[in-house]
Chains A and B, each alone.
Chain A
Amino acid sequence: MELDPVLLARVQFAANITFHILFPTITIALGWILLFFKLSYNRSDDLKWMDAYHFWVKIFALSFALGVVSGITMSFQFGTNWPGFMERVGNIAGPLLAYEILTAFFLEAVFLGIMLFGFRRVSNRVHTLATVLVAVGTTLSAFWILVLNSWMHTPVGFEMRDGVAHATDWLAIVFNPSMPYRLTHMLLASGLTAAFLIAGVSSYRWLRGDRSPSVMAALRTGVVLAAILIPAQIVVGDLHGLNTLEHQPQKIAAIEANWQTRPAVPLVLFALPDEQARSNAFEVAIPYGASLILTHDPNGVVPGLDAFEGSHPPVAPVFFAFRVMVGIGITMLLLSWAGGWVLWRRGDLTPWLARAFVGMTFAGWGATIAGWYVTEIGRQPWLVSGVLRTAEAASAVPAPFIGLSLALYLVVYAVLLAAYVSVIFHLARKAGDAVVRLPKAAPSPSVPSMVAAE
């Protein structure tokens, strides 16, 4: 079989960016949650908050390192895998990427050192400031990269000269039509991912009999945060969908597996979309549902895939990824509200709820990746909507090179992912085994240890 270099380049880029996004998704929100723990301690002098901070800062450091190294890979692959991207739209993508590096990467990297290892070297105030700056840095980084990504979906503020995009209006580029929705959607996704991670790991400790005040404080923080964010996420997701309907109707048509433009479109709950026959098999649908959701009128006309034949995304991956995302979202809603209710009424969890939270520890990852697949595969065959096709941007690197490096990356990523998950649970077990408290003057709650960076 002839290896297709464009397909390989896409698979490689997708593998790297999928691996990368796992970690910023955690650190963006976890940085702010750490700040919350720290400020709660500053305010209340209650050591449980400092314990929670010291436990979660380890997981933050680990996640951050994984995010940094996989992010370095991304900065190379923009050029090696997609040289056409920078040639065509580099005048717009370039400054946005440069501003991300200049304003965010250095800020978070430098102050992370002070935040992690400077506890005894700087005053509490400076340490809190370092924590704030790290959180600001991660969020700024998300801002710039989502500006660029949104611009690729809804490009504005530029003109084409000799086949190259030139910026004409930077404000329009930064605040492009899909940016506010996509950024909010992603920040909430990060909040939910971190909230379920905290709730899951704390539930794991709870199930092992480790019910110290710090575990309960972290558990409540995770569950309450999840219960607050998930309804907001559902509303923002709906608004984001309506924004997509306006700017990228073919993506919505693929999400709904709606093959014909027509009124009174049903909401397809499940089906096997068949691209050859251009219809669905085994369809389970709610009559009028899609028209009602998308046009707020049961007889509203919804654009179908027939209007975009030859230039719409592959239907099945978008269709299924969307259902995975929504399915996880609904499960999150049910679990976080049930958990919040029980915690509020009884002041404690029940074993079954705790097991459910443990099972959902990494649910945020599932939903985030599924959501990114919807939006990115949903933009195909374009890399920049209406400006640059993905195939035009691909590199001329020989397929065997890409295949070889892809295989190496996949092995490394699989090992690292397994190590990451097992270390998180190992840290949770270890924290439960070593609860020895010292007075506040020497805030060193865990067993004194000679292990570096521990």
Chain B
Amino acid sequence: MLTAFGDPAVWLPVAFAGLMGLAILVYVVLDGYDLGVGMLLAGVGEADRDRMIAAIGPFWDANETWLVLAVGLLLVAFPLAHGVILGALYLPVAVMLIGLIVRGVAFEFRAKVRPERKAAWDWAFFAGSLATALAQGCMLGLYVMGLEITPATVAFSALTAVCLAAGYVFIGACWLIIKTDGDLQRRSVRWARRCLVFIALGLGSVSVASPLVSPRIFEKWFSLPEIVLLAPLPIASVVTIGLLWIALKNLPDHQDRWAWLPFFGAVTVFALAFTGLAYSFYPYVVPDRLTIYDAASAPESLLIILIGALLVVPVIITYSLIAYRIFRGKATVLRYD
């Protein structure tokens, strides 16, 4: 089986890079919306908070598991890169982890403590979500900048931090458009519309900056025939953002038939942006330093994991879809009984 698809030292790292990319994209979309809802908590009163939390309650735990899978794949498939990347991003990673810890437990504590302490845990849920989103955006910026720490790269990572957080707020608002109704749904539409500007800004700045920082990336995009073949990516992004703008102007509609549209638009934008990034950096897992082939584990071990992954990932996706189906429709108050 090892040689059935050619040299295993070539196709296995590619397969794992693809799997890891999928896990990162799914994570960014899924935890993106629940982090975004967490950040939006700051702008509403207590009754709305309960509804917003109810909209993400049954899902957040499984959503975060995709981060464990993504980092786990980096760790087991590209152990050299795991050390280099997470070592270089040590402080933002620590901030993100503490943010994830605080928000994850705040979700449980807010519902179980004495009523007078609930507001404090709501604040912790907001702050943890914000810290997580900013830290991830900062990590993205530093990664795009080749993991160099200079005043310029730090400034750039501050920009990507704000933009990614806005992106998460955006997809969070889009999720709320699906899961809520009435006044909260109308406000969600407004939140989403405001964040769209930041998404355009973030996409634009990463698209401009990454070819400028790396001549290799410049070469990959701006030479013939690549520039023609790749043109659909930025064009599709611009068109999707434009359609989102129009859709958000006209939502919510009367029968609530189009409430799902912004969320799927958001997923499309995230997927397009991610594809562009993945194309830019391939075959490097550490920008311009370490390729996926150099960083990969031994083929025999990768194969063992791949067999398991091919058997189990479809099952995971199936029962995740079942869970989403069970909790479909507008969010209702969460209760254990």
Contacts and interface: CB of A to CB of B under 8 A. Distances in A.
Contacts of A446: 337
Contacts of A404: 91, 94
A441 interface: no
B105 A65 contact: yes
Contacts of B71: 75-76, 79
Contacts of A401: 90-91, 94
A62 to B, nearest CB: 5
B101 A118 contact: no
Given A65-B104, A98-B308, A103-B308, A87 B109 contact: no
Given A57-B336, A121-B327, A62 B112 contact: yes
A368 B277 CA distance: 45
A285 to B, nearest CB: 45
A97 B72 contact: yes
B82 A98 contact: no
A445 B57 contact: no
Main SS at interface, chain A: helix
Q: Which of A57, A98, A121, A450 has the most CB of B within 10 A?
A: A98
Nearest to A55: B336
B97 A454 contact: no
Nearest to B74: A79
Interface string B166-203: 00000000000000000000000000000000000000
B107 A76 contact: no
Nearest to B58: A113
A110 B323 contact: yes
B79 A113 contact: no
Contact of A114 (B53, B104, B323): B323
A166 B77 contact: no
Contacts of B219: none
Interface residues on A, range: 35 or more
A72 B67 contact: yes
Interface in B156-171: none
A426 B54 CA distance: 23
Interface residues of B, number: 69
Q: Which of A65, A118, A409, A427 has the most CB of B within 10 A?
A: A65
A101 interface: yes
A94 B316 contact: no
A268 B335 CA distance: 54
A395 B91 CA distance: 14
A90 B57 contact: no
A344 interface: no
Contact of A58 (B62, B72, B323, B336): B336
B326 interface: yes
A75 B61 contact: no
Contact of A94 (B64, B77, B333): B77
A73 interface: yes
Contact of B337 (A66, A113, A444): A444
Given A76-B97, A119-B337, A454-B112, A412 B102 contact: yes
Given A72-B67, A91-B297, A106-B62, A397 B94 contact: no
B323 A113 contact: yes
B242 interface: no
Interface in A124-151: none
Contacts of A397: 87, 90
A95 to B, nearest CB: 5
A361 interface: no
A37 interface: no
A116 B113 CA distance: 18
Closest 4 CB pairs of A and B: A94-B76, A83-B83, A113-B58, A86-B79
Nearest to B301: A91
Contacts of B67: 72
Contacts of B73: 98
Interface string B88-108: 001101100110111011011
A164 interface: yes
A454 B121 CA distance: 14
Interface string B29-68: 0000000000000000001001001100111011011011
B233 interface: no
B108 A98 contact: no
A409 B72 CA distance: 21
B243 interface: no
B94 A408 contact: yes
B75 A79 contact: yes
B62 A109 contact: yes
A114 B300 contact: no
A382 to B, nearest CB: 19
A446 B336 CA distance: 11
A328 B98 CA distance: 32
A284 interface: no
Contacts of A68: 61, 64-65, 104
Contacts of B333: 450, 452
B112 A117 contact: no
Contact of B82 (A86, A101, A102): A86
B68 A71 contact: yes
B107 A453 contact: yes
B298 interface: yes
B334 interface: yes
A106 B323 CA distance: 12
Interface in A400-454: 401, 404-405, 408-409, 412, 416, 419, 423, 426-427, 443-446, 449-454
Nearest to A429: B114
Given A103-B312, A452-B53, 8 more contacts: A76-B97, A106-B69, A109-B64, A113-B57, A116-B58, A118-B326, A453-B107, A453-B108
A25 B76 CA distance: 25
Contact of B326 (A66, A86, A122): A122
Contact of A454 (B47, B111, B313): B111
Q: Which of B73, B110, B297, B333 has the most CB of A within 10 A?
A: B297
A112 B53 contact: no
Contacts of B91: 401, 404-405
Interface in A19-71: 54, 57-58, 61-62, 64-66, 68-71
